[in-house]
Amino acid sequence: MKRRYVVLDVFTSRPLEGNPLAVVLDADDLDTQAMQRIAREFNLSETVFVRRAVHPAHSAEVRIFTPGRELPFAGHPTVGTAALLAEERFGDVAKAIDAVVVLEEKVGVVRAAVRLDPSRPTFAEFDAPRLPLAVRADLPSKGAIADALGLDAADIGFENHVPTIHEAGVPFAFVPLAGLEAIRRARLDVSSWKSACGQNEALPVYLYCRETIHHDSTFHARMFGVGFGIGEDPATGAAAAAFAGVITRFDQPTKGSHSHCIEQGFEMGRPSLIDLALEIDGKELVAVRIGGSAVRVAEGTIDVSRASV
């Protein structure tokens, strides 16, 4: 049976930039094996499968797969799918309107606000389904991290920022680097990284620095997708959600709302801009929002009649 799919570029307002996403519609009768095989066929960072919602008030149930595994939650699939479902529901709009899309993901229910505007790409923003947590697990030494990245130990860290592990549905190893020059030189040797982690899980590695390319960006980032079946990711919304915990820990923002723009994917020729908003009450992080634009770049059908065989 043939199923319709749409490919979008997410966290960008321009086609052929940002992070590409495949969304397969009407995927109710596809089993897990079939969805994983289709995700490998698309071979993008993630592929989303849209199914009927369990709760009738929600928009859809979605399953999210990398080429190598299923994820309970991911940012650019959430932004892209919310934007697409709003476009599918309302079609071409004559004036700007706001819509709400409620997605059932493995991590839980995710609510997204979508802005449809005939003069600009669709923008979607969602509330992170979980607040970020620091994961209490041992990271390799600074020297071992530097060796795995092809860097010097002096490149690791800036100000009071040191390597940590945080998660908001998916755990990442967050490694601060001195600046753009160091982050551009980084090349992750997966074997060295796994060896350095020893008995601990070799997590995906998120590099970040405060020096940026665009003057209105707050952080520059790269993400190496160890365990995801991908090398480097152009834009990683799930990591951005967890990164809110890193910012809260080291920068100690004051009470109120704080907006950040994370630039990622520039080293890959896929520039991406991720909006990250933190809400602080006292000294506690109480809410995280992730947002970005999405543009359609392709659509068609895929024959999945033998995907489970």
Would you say 86 and 127 are in contact if contact means Cβ atoms under 8 Å apart? no
Rounded-to-integer distance, Cα 294 and Cα 231, Å: 22
46 as an active site residue: the answer is: yes
Strand residues in the chain grouped as ranges (E): 2-10, 19-24, 46-51, 60-65, 70-71, 97-105, 108-117, 120-127, 133-134, 164-167, 171-176, 205-209, 219-224, 232-233, 256-264, 272-281, 284-303
Rounded-to-integer distance, Cα 173 and Cα 197, Å: 11
C-alpha torsion angle, residues 274, 225, 181, 209 (rounded to 10): 50
Calculate helix-pair angle for 142-149, 190-197, nearest 10 degrees: 160
Q: Which of 17, 41, 46, 299 is catalytic?
A: 46
Rounded-to-integer distance, Cα 62 and Cα 242, Å: 21
CA distances from 138 to 12, 135, 165, 199, 246 (A): 35, 9, 9, 10, 16
Q: Which residues are catalytic?
A: 46
